[in-house]
Amino acid sequence: MTGRTETGTGHGADRSAPLVRVRGVTKGFGGVAALKDVDLDLYPGEIHALMGMNGAGKSTLVQVLSGVHQADGGSIGVDGHDRSGLTVRKARHLGIAFVPQRRELVMGLSVAENIMLGDLPRRGGFVSRPQMLSRAREALAGLGIEIDVRRTAGELTVAEQTMVEVAREVRRGGRVLILDEPTACLGAEAAGRIRTLVRRLRDEGVAVVYISHYIDEVLGLADRVTVLRDGRVVRSAPADGFDAGELVRAMAGRDVVSHRPERPAPADEIGLAIRGLTHGRSIRDFTAQVRKGEVVAVLGPAGDAQSYLFDLLSGRRRPLSGELHVDATPVPMGRVPASLGSGLRCVTGDRRALGLVPGLSVDENLMLADDRFHRRRLHRRGELARRSAARRKDYGVVTLGGDPPVGSLSGGNQQKVLLAKWLETAPTACFLEDPTNGVDVAAVADIHTLIDALAARGVAVLLASSSAEEAMRLADRILVVRAGRTVAEYDTTAITRDELVATALGGAPQ
Ligand SMILES: Nc1ncnc2c1ncn2[C@@H]1O[C@H](COP(=O)(O)OP(=O)(O)OP(=O)(O)O)[C@@H](O)[C@H]1O
Ligand SMILES: [Mg+2]
């Protein structure tokens, strides 16, 4: 144990008393309860995982803890004192730090400026750059993070941005560190680096709250697991008291099985052909031929080639070179209408920025890409609801009450709306970028089944994924991409998941 928590408050050294004690917390949004009578104890030097299905209340709970939302009832104690009614300011003052899923760095500023913001060292009224750099370097070095503090935050990878946020919070005196899905959508290697950092913080006496949908990750990392279901704690126990099946049952209230079904063999015709696609260093000479009814996965770290593939295939960006054919017809690149007109549907991994209109309702979003919705004035309320009801049912979209704005749905439900919106337009081929990002185990299984059905209908599916499991589960073939280049190709019937991770990704299994 290092001195930080011991000298910080005098309470940190005692690992037998909870640092934070939550009792009977309730929280509702517009009459709907998101948290019901929740108890939670956080101990220093412990990684406490919060798990639960999409919408279970995990983010709401940590937002109450960090003062973003105020609880409607119940109490929060910190160091044995009642601190109910926390605000963000008070929570931070008490050392409760929250790193939300969306990175909150100022992307135009340097790493050093981001770390030191609000506490810039001054000399004679001016910011002392050498001091700022050296203190920021100390903050990173103290946690074993190797990032050049002069780099601009926007240039960093997602994992590096998370680490910088963590370093900033620890420097500000964070002794309860809350991470909301820090490894969602990261490749194996980057996720491993985040976990190493989290273990280090734990060993230094920080109370870590860790939200993740990855069961193996949580069982390998956490000391204690609390499972929320429909806003209630259904189980809280040391992590070694759970196995994967039990954890899923606690979260879902039932067993969830996801196995690779027998799909009809792909046709001989090529549904989607990409040749020599090149865009700077991001994508170099990418070639893929996907037959109708075939699923081909492009496996690599998120944010690498994948989001460029989305931009290029959807016509948002023009490549330097390369050709695209859909159903043997050439498609002009760099034009969104041409891509859409070809029968290719591209589903983004960044649903908030590009996929959904958060202020419009679920039903409106569901029907937005449907020509009939515009042509035949389906926007008359009744008609809209009737048509979208079928989609909600087929895709398992669950909402609390009526037709709320899509932005208020939990992550997994937003993802299902996004998929339904595009996949119900009868595509010839589709490109799906990380379709199960941030989605709970049951919804993952549902989405995989939807993708199977799509392939079974003869659609050529190109899937960009950062998950070896997902690629193995869904794909007939896997193209491994690193730094923009295709470095290997596998037939999924001829390789195991561990071989894939070891040989192709060069990372250890979780
Ligand atoms: N600001 C808000 N306004 C209205 N409803 C909200 C708001 N924030 C959350 N909710 C609702 O509260 C419930 C719990 O949501 P929360 O975001 O805590 O779930 P979660 O467990 O974090 O899910 P996920 O795994 O999808 O991130 C959901 O039904 C959600 O729609
Ligand atoms: Mg959440």
Instruction: Based on DSSP, count helices (H) and strands (E) in the chain, helices before strands.
Output: 18, 22
Pocket-forming residues, ligand 1, beta carbon under 6 Å: 29, 34, 52, 54-60, 400, 408-412, 440
Give which of 428, 426, 427, 403 is closest to 413, Cα–Cα: 403
Tell me, rounded to whole angstroms, the distance of Cα 185 from its chain centroid.
5
Q: Which residues contact 496 (CB under 8 A, 6 or more apart)?
A: none
Which is more confidently placed, 389 or 76? 76
Backbone dihedral angles phi then psi of residue 18, each to the nearest 5 degrees? -70, 140
Domains of the chain: 1-9+17-95+175-254 (3.40.50.300), 109-172 (no CATH), 270-505 (3.40.50.300)
The structure tokens listed for 152 are 């601009």
Pocket test for ligand 1, best of 25, 27, 40, 59 (most atoms within 8 A of CB): 59
Mean pLDDT of the chain: 87
Nearest CA to ligand 1 atom 12: 34
Query: Which 3 state secondary structure label does DSSP give 35?
Result: strand
Token pair recorded at residue 319: 């490549």
**What DSSP element (H or E) covers 175?**
none
Whether the CA torsion 122, 124, 126, 132 is positive or negative: it is negative
Rounded percentage of the chain residues whose pLDDT exceeds 70: 92
- Residue 504 has a pLDDT of 62
Q: What is the pLDDT of residues 237-277, one digit of tens each?
A: 999 989 988 999 999 888 877 777 788 899 999 999 999 99
Integer Cα distance of 63 and 446 in angstroms: 28
> Average pLDDT of 428-433?
94
Closest C-alpha residue for ligand 1 atom 1: 408
Position 510 scores a pLDDT of 35
Relative to the CA of 101, which ligand 1 atom is closest?
Answer: 27
Q: How confident is the model at residue 509 (pLDDT cuts 50, 70, 90)?
A: very low
C-alpha dihedral, 162 to 163 to 168 to 172, nearest 10° = 100
Phi and psi based region of residue 181 (left: phi greater than 0; alpha: psi -120 to 50; beta: remaining): left
**Cα-based angle 230, 233, 237 (whole degrees, multiple of 5):** 140
- SS3 state at 55: coil
Q: How far apart are CA 309 and CA 298, in angstroms?
A: 10
H-run or E-run covering 29? strand 20-29
The whole-number pLDDT of residue 425 equals: 81
Is the pLDDT confidence value at 2 over 60?
Answer: no
* Cβ partners under 8 Å of residue 461, min gap 6: 290, 294, 295, 296, 429, 430, 432, 451, 454, 455
Query: Which is more confident, 63 or 55?
Result: 63
| Residue 352 confidence (pLDDT) above 60 | yes
**Which of these ranges, 4-18, 121-135, 159-173, 264-278, has the smallest mean pLDDT?**
4-18
**What is the residue with the minimal CA distance to atom 31 of ligand 1?**
409
Top-ranked range on mean pLDDT: pick from 83-97, 186-200, 371-385, 388-402: 83-97
Residue 1 is predicted with a pLDDT of 38
**From ligand 1's centre to the CA of 48, what distance in Å?**
20
Q: What is the mean pLDDT of residues 38-55?
A: 95
Mean pLDDT of 323-349: 92
Average pLDDT (417-426) is 85
- Whether 193 has a pLDDT exceeding 60, the answer reads yes
Alpha helices in 300-380 (DSSP H): 305-313, 336-341, 362-367, 371-375
pLDDT of residue 302: 65
- In angstroms and rounded to an integer, the radius of gyration of the C-alpha atoms of the chain is 24
What is the pLDDT averaged over residues 334-354? 85
- Going across the sheet that includes 344-347, the strands are 344-347, 429-433, 460-465, 295-299, 477-482, 485-491
CA-nearest residue, atom 25 of ligand 1: 54
Q: What is the pLDDT of residue 397?
A: 86
The candidate with the shortest Cα–Cα distance to 175, out of 74, 295, 93, is 93
> What is the pLDDT confidence band of residue 373, given thresholds at 50, 70 and 90?
low
Give the mean model confidence (pLDDT) for residues 220-242. Answer: 95
**Which of the residue ranges 137-151, 384-398, 420-434 would you say has the lowest mean pLDDT?**
384-398
